[in-house]
Chain A
């Protein structure tokens, strides 16, 4: 009994709710990589050990497995913290914003950087719970400034929107270059 207690004390550590879930997933991922080590890396003939392509992936994956196992052990022997499910749901809520972000990425080459950035900024602000017209206008202003500074002034590499092709001649060249 004393030994078990000593063992627990040795590995107990500070943590937050959800730590156990993360530790399990990470270890499973590391074990999956370990199972693929032979398949996904090559041991080349007539090459010394330090030049082998599989040397560093092996070190990394074994390190992930060993440290990950101890991390999980530490999580398992520490007192349980309630709120695990709530925390995991919090992580999953971020996927909603990932979706918005990827939709924005997909729209930019079609609708153009300036219009899609204004649309995106205003939409995110609305989704975040801001409703006052001044706040929406501020988000649109911020988006306009960012688009003009980065694409117009700094000429950062972002493709022109396909929609710009349909603009009148006088405006098209300007939009293709600066907006």
Chain B
């Protein structure tokens, strides 16, 4: 209870609260703009947050992360264009509802389902916090190494049909992290005697290039278009009553969101896939799915909004980011010399509580904001895409240049911008590169530390948690191979061919 009160006190500081409000409302607007996702916004704002206290910077970024999917549902439902990639599934049932002149009903339901998912995940986190505080100290170097390895493995196998691409890009990320002067033996790795390579590739420079600059280039080159004008009428509160009628689906979807959010390397897409499948299989009217089913809409929105809260668990408790956005947040911790991990739960539980409370508050702020300003947002999102491209390009400059005032950094970021553009055009995933960079570094350090105490190979997995993670890793590999064999036997391709089955591999 004391930690909860301390958490409230931290949040009550004016700068933290201001960051929360700006982040939440800014996140909704960013999410609602097709072409700009939370990853672009977080990448741009990241260097600016280094000047703030860690809690202020993190609250701002968390606000954007947690609220962008609310905003993303608006164009997904009303104009069949997902605001963020994770809202793509929302278009399946949201847009058909709009075509039936039920756009207002669909939006209201999406908001309440998102709110339910968001709050549900934070309640789970608060209830889990004491348990985490108990378990986290048992995570030593070998456990963290295994968990990071599991994260890499999961991000590769989770990209079904693109496993090889995800694998090579994750390895590319690990490679990028190794370039430069290695800090233990002081040897150079892949520097080719170039001074600009000696300090290696900065994560923020790579992130800004891959997410922000690539998006700016893409928007500036592709054909210009602007979302068409539309508006909704009526009270947005009607969804509450309807959601109560399908609370089973909302609860299961949110639980799946929490579960998938906690596992590194998985995230929103898998949570949505599982919850949507569950909702369809248990529905009395499975035939309506994809044609404007409120249950399908709730399954999609409740699941994806439950993920951000849960994704903070591996980040805070183990220092392991599960996806690109939390990987970016990790750098905020590092810059301020706050090392997330087991000790954070032991020594700074009030800080963790403040973040959880911030998540609850952001859901409330966003819901209240959306209840009154959906039509205003619909006007804002009519910015032409090429104008948006110019805005991202201008903002990206601040992100890269303010780091060290280095022209080289800007050139490297621009290079990664072109690389990111190619990946986006080919619909190849960017997230494995970022996770490879971050988790690769963690694995290198933790393996070195862990092996110092290991006499025989079996020692590595002799501790209970290490053994559990090891069994999970084996299970993931076996299950993946089994799925591939079953798919082959059933004459199914790993990924169906043809544009009708295409889905985005991008995050944020």
Contacts and interface: CB of A to CB of B under 8 A. Distances in A.
Nearest to B171: A63
A124 B425 CA distance: 22
B478 interface: no
A13 B492 CA distance: 11
Nearest to A44: B185
Contact of B170 (A63, A109, A120, A128): A63
Interface residues of A, number: 77
Nearest to B191: A40
Nearest to A150: B398
B178 to A, nearest CB: 4
Contact of A104 (B161, B177, B220, B397): B397
Given A26-B168, A104-B397, A142-B394, A60 B187 contact: no
A33 B425 contact: no
Interface string B377-412: 000000010110111011101100110010100110
A124 to B, nearest CB: 4
Interface string B155-188: 0000001101101101110110110001011011
Contact of B184 (A22, A51, A62): A51
Interface stretch (B67-75, B292-300, B494-502): B494-502
A132 to B, nearest CB: 11
Given A19-B426, A44-B187, A101-B393, A10 B168 contact: no
Contacts, number: 210
Contacts of B395: 146
- Using C-beta atoms within 8 Å of the partner chain, give the interface range for chain B: 35 or more
Interface string B409-444: 011001101100110011110000000100010011
Residue among B394, B443, B444, B498 with max Cβ neighbours from chain A (10 Å): B394
A159 B83 CA distance: 36
Contact of B386 (A42, A106, A129): A129
B447 interface: yes
Contacts of B426: 15-16, 18-19, 22
Given A59-B174, A90-B425, A101 B185 contact: no
Which of A44, A94, A121 has the most chain B CB atoms closer than 10 A to its own CB?
A: A94
B48 interface: yes
Interface string B278-321: 00000000000000000000000000000000000000000000
A33 B186 CA distance: 20
Contacts of B389: 124, 128
Nearest to B418: A94
A16 to B, nearest CB: 5
Contact of A129 (B48, B224, B398): B224
A97 B444 CA distance: 37
Contact of B407 (A106, A120, A129, A138): A106
A146 B473 CA distance: 47
A93 B398 CA distance: 24
Contact of B217 (A78, A94, A125): A94
Given A97-B220, A121-B394, A142-B394, A40 B402 contact: no
Main secondary structure of the interface of A (DSSP, over half): helix
A36 B497 CA distance: 37
A122 B290 CA distance: 43
B138 interface: no
B451 interface: yes
Contacts of A42: 185, 187-188
A154 B51 contact: yes
Given A53-B189, A64-B175, A97-B393, A70 B421 contact: no
Contact of B190 (A22, A40, A90): A40
A101 B189 contact: no
B418 A95 contact: yes
Interface string B103-141: 000000000000000000000000000000000000000
Most B Cβ at <10 Å: residue of A16, A30, A67 = A67
Interface in B185-224: 185, 187-192, 213, 216-218, 220-221, 224
B336 interface: no
A50 B414 CA distance: 35
A162 interface: no
B444 to A, nearest CB: 5
Contact of B414 (A26, A55, A102): A102
A143 B411 CA distance: 21
A125 B358 CA distance: 38
B402 A158 contact: yes
Contacts of A50: 447-448, 451
A34 to B, nearest CB: 11
A16 B405 contact: no
Contacts of B164: 67-68, 70-71, 74
Most chain B CB inside 10 Å of its own CB: which residue of A50, A66, A93, A97: A97
A67 B444 CA distance: 21
Contact of A12 (B171, B415, B497): B497
Given A101-B410, A156-B402, A91 B421 contact: yes
Nearest to A74: B164
Given A64-B175, A101-B393, A154-B51, A56 B386 contact: no
Interface in A145-170: 146, 150, 154-159
Interface of A: 9-10, 12-16, 18-19, 22, 26, 30, 33, 36, 40-42, 44, 47-48, 50-51, 53-57, 59-64, 66-68, 70-71, 74, 78-79, 87, 90-91, 93-95, 97-98, 101-102, 104-106, 108-109, 117, 120-121, 124-125, 128-130, 135, 138-139, 142-143, 146, 150, 154-159
Closest 7 CB pairs of A and B: A63-B171, A67-B168, A67-B167, A60-B175, A60-B174, A128-B386, A71-B164
19 contacts: A22-B426, A26-B168, A40-B191, A51-B451, A56-B174, A56-B443, A57-B175, A60-B175, A64-B171, A67-B168, A87-B425, A95-B418, A104-B397, A128-B387, A146-B395, A150-B398, A154-B51, A156-B47, A158-B405
Given A59-B174, A94-B221, A128-B390, 18 more contacts: A14-B493, A26-B168, A41-B189, A42-B187, A42-B188, A50-B448, A60-B178, A64-B171, A67-B165, A91-B422, A94-B418, A95-B418, A97-B221, A142-B391, A150-B48, A155-B51, A156-B398, A157-B405
